[in-house]
Amino acid sequence: MPPEAELRSCDLILSGGTILTLDAADAVFADGAIAVLGRHIVAIGPREAVEAAWTAPRRMECTGRLLMPGLVNVHNHTPLMITRGMIEDLGFAPMFTPGIPQGHRLSEDEAGILARLGVYEMLRNGCTTIVDFYRYPQALARAHAELGSRAVIAGRVHDADPEELTRGRYVYEPGLARETIRENADLVERFDGYDVGRIRCDWAPHAPDTCSDACLREVAEMARGHAGNVHTHLCQSPVEVEQVHSRSGLTPPQALEAAGLLDPRLIAAHCIHVDPRDYARMGAAGIAMAYTPIGNAKTGRIAPVLDLAEAGIGITLCTDTFSGDLFEAMRWAVAMQRIRSADGFVLDARTALRWATQAGAERLGLGDAVGALTTGRRADILIMDMETPGLAPVIDGYGILVWSANGANVRSVIVDGRLVIEDGRLTTADGPALVREAQAVAERLWAAAGRRPVTRRTAA
Ligand SMILES: [Zn+2]
């Protein structure tokens, strides 16, 4: 061992524990260590080797822990937490469901309070890279900036009047397109690249039916010079397919293609009601899908993920807001395809883990930065509790994480070298206060929509 003076200095050493790097070689260290300097991993390997070369003012003992890369959750709308626990029995998407607090009726402050609940929950469950888009996107960006997540934020561009949608009618208002495009443009201008790139801003046309063809073309034009992604919903419902067809005679993927949006930058959520004749078109265009298994299941549908993957579409994973637990989504992702597949026993735990880490990172253009634990990458690290009954036995590591683990097994979370969850507690804000504030906003808005929350003795 070299003398003390030859040790190199870093900020933090995670020492001991089993490290699943999920890197290209699937390297595992049974008694490993990770050295973190600033925002980066500067060394990872056997504990003896790392500790022989590095010293740090802070050392976290990780014996009895499982260390793995932070999860990449590629599609969310955090203010929609307002409908969680209620929308599931009412309709397929809040925007189309009457009698609920609609997103466009939230104030910017209320959107921000609900966004903080969503970000807190996802961080607490081990999601370190989060795609989040909705109205008031700057409120979302502020929530991620404050709580410490890595985020890709966008607006919610559409020109279909949302009040008319809840009545089952499509009425396109050019003023709405202008307003929501400006909101997205202002976001990009203000927050893109914030905190050395921890926050990136992209473009998000809501869907091919809630955007007119003119609106889709306008977003494509705005996003042309943008280096990031375009996020959308695609083939989420038969209503969408029917609306796009009646408008233009095209399928939703064809409408995106006609607008200039069907390209490798596109990450399309859902992809449930896809005409099989479009599989090859989507694959050749190089798009990715955000697979939403829990959301699919709640509406009784399963996306044809295996067919889409075979056609060349990149698969990534998301919880789409209604749960922040991507471990749960991994399990559902595999199980649902086994239900759907004629072959039954398809996919495996390692594939689901790849979708939730490296595959998502690559599709976001962050494939060299996050998604695996290697020297030189950003330090986005989960420290899982291996001394809990649900996370044992650890044999190959992948199986137990996908088939048994849940977000509550995450003890600590590091994003960009910063400890944002420590022993289950949010370090960047008062977690319980965030929950109370979101509860108060939700009670008020649901009461205004005519539903008396059980937490209230009398109607508001
Ligand atoms: Zn969505």
Same domain, residue pair 177 and 326: yes
Return the CATH number at 62: 2.30.40.10
pLDDT grade, residue 2 (50/70/90)?
Answer: low
Are 304 and 355 part of one and the same domain? Answer: yes
Whether residue 391 lies inside any domain: the answer is yes
Cα–ligand 1 centroid distance for 449 (angstroms): 22
CA–CA separation, 19 and 292 (whole Å): 28
Mean pLDDT lowest among 91-105, 142-156, 397-411: 91-105
Burial group, residue 406, by CB count within 10 angstroms (0-12, 13-18, 19+): middle
The DSSP code for 70 is: P
pLDDT band at residue 117 using 50, 70 and 90 as cut-offs: very high
Q: What is the SS3 assignment for 235?
A: coil
Distance CA(318)–CA(271), nearest Å, equals 13
Give yes or no: residues 116 and 177 share one domain.
yes
pLDDT-derived band of residue 334, with 50, 70 and 90 as boundaries? very high
Contact 71, 353 (CB under 8 A): no
d(CA 181, CA 446): 29
Distance of CA 71 to the CA centre of its chain: 8
Beta-carbon count within 10 A of 100 CB: 21
| CATH code assigned at 139 | 3.20.20.140
Q: Within this chain, do residues 81 and 12 fall inside the same structural domain, yes or no? A: no
Four-point Cα dihedral 157, 161, 165, 167, nearest 10: 170
pLDDT, average across residues 314-333: 96
108-117, 131-140, 260-269, 339-348: which range is least confident on average? 339-348
Q: Flag whether 457 is in a domain.
A: no
- Quote the pLDDT of residue 460: 47
Distance 387 CA to ligand 1 centre (A): 35
Residue 84 placed within a domain: yes
Mean pLDDT value across the chain: 95
List residues bridging with 54 in a β-sheet: 8
Find the 218 Cα to ligand 1 centroid distance in Å: 21
Structural domain that includes position 410 = 4-69+375-426
Residue 453 within any structural domain of the chain: no
Residue 110 shares a structural domain with residue 249: yes
What tens digit of pLDDT does each residue of 282-298 get? Answer: 999 999 999 999 998 88
Contact between 223 and 258 (Cβ < 8 Å):
no
Which pLDDT score, from 0 to 100, does residue 379 have?
98
Compute, in angstroms, the gap from residue 246 CA to the centroid of ligand 1: 23
Please give the Cα distance from 246 to 256 (Å, whole number).
Answer: 15
Q: How far apart are the first and last CA of the chain?
A: 69
The whole-angstrom separation of Cα 104 and Cα 197 is 29
Centroid of ligand 1 to alpha carbon of 272 (angstroms): 13
pLDDT in tens, 128-168: 999 999 999 999 999 999 999 999 999 999 999 998 998 99
| pLDDT tier, 3 (very low <50, low <70, confident <90, very high otherwise) | low
Give the distance (Å) from ligand 1 centre to CA of residue 171. 21
Say yes or no to pLDDT of 320 above 60: yes
What confidence tens digit (pLDDT) does each residue in 238-251 have? Answer: 999 999 999 999 99
- At residue 359, the 3 state secondary structure works out as helix
C-alpha distances in Å from residue 11, one per residue of 34, 117, 131, 134: 11, 30, 28, 36
Higher pLDDT, 206 or 452: 206
Both tokens assigned to 167: 């009545």
Q: Same structural domain for residues 276 and 395?
A: no
Q: With the CA atoms of 136, 137, 139 and 141 taken in that order, what torsion angle do they form, in degrees rounded to the nearest 10? A: 180
Tell whether 218 is covered by a domain.
yes
Neighbours of 171 (CB within 10 A): 13
- Do 75 and 64 sit in the same domain of this protein? no
Say if residue 358 is in the same domain as residue 379. no
Mark whether 60 and 91 lie in a shared domain: no
SS3 35: strand
C-alpha–C-alpha distance, residues 391 and 385, integer Å: 7
Label the pairing between strands 40-46 and 32-37. antiparallel
Total count of residues recorded for the chain: 460
Please name the residue that has the structure tokens 């829990």: 294
Strand partners, 382: 68, 413
Cis peptide before 393 (omega within 30 of 0): yes
Question: Is 22 within 8 Å of 372 (Cβ atoms)?
Answer: yes
Same domain for 269 and 299, yes or no, is yes
Return the pLDDT at 322. Answer: 82
**Distance of CA 268 from the midpoint of ligand 1 (Å):** 9
Burial label, 170 (beta-carbon count in 10 A; 0-12, 13-18, 19+): middle
Tell me which of 313, 331, 363 is where a domain ends. Answer: 363
Last residue of a domain, one of 309, 334, 363: 363
459 occurs within a structural domain: no
CA distance 210 to 147: 31
**Centroid of ligand 1 to alpha carbon of 206 (angstroms):** 8
- For residue 80, the CA-to-ligand 1 centroid distance in Å is 9
Counting the structural domains of the chain, the total is 2
For residues 99 and 225, state if they share a domain.
yes
User: What is the amino acid identity at position 286?
Assistant: G
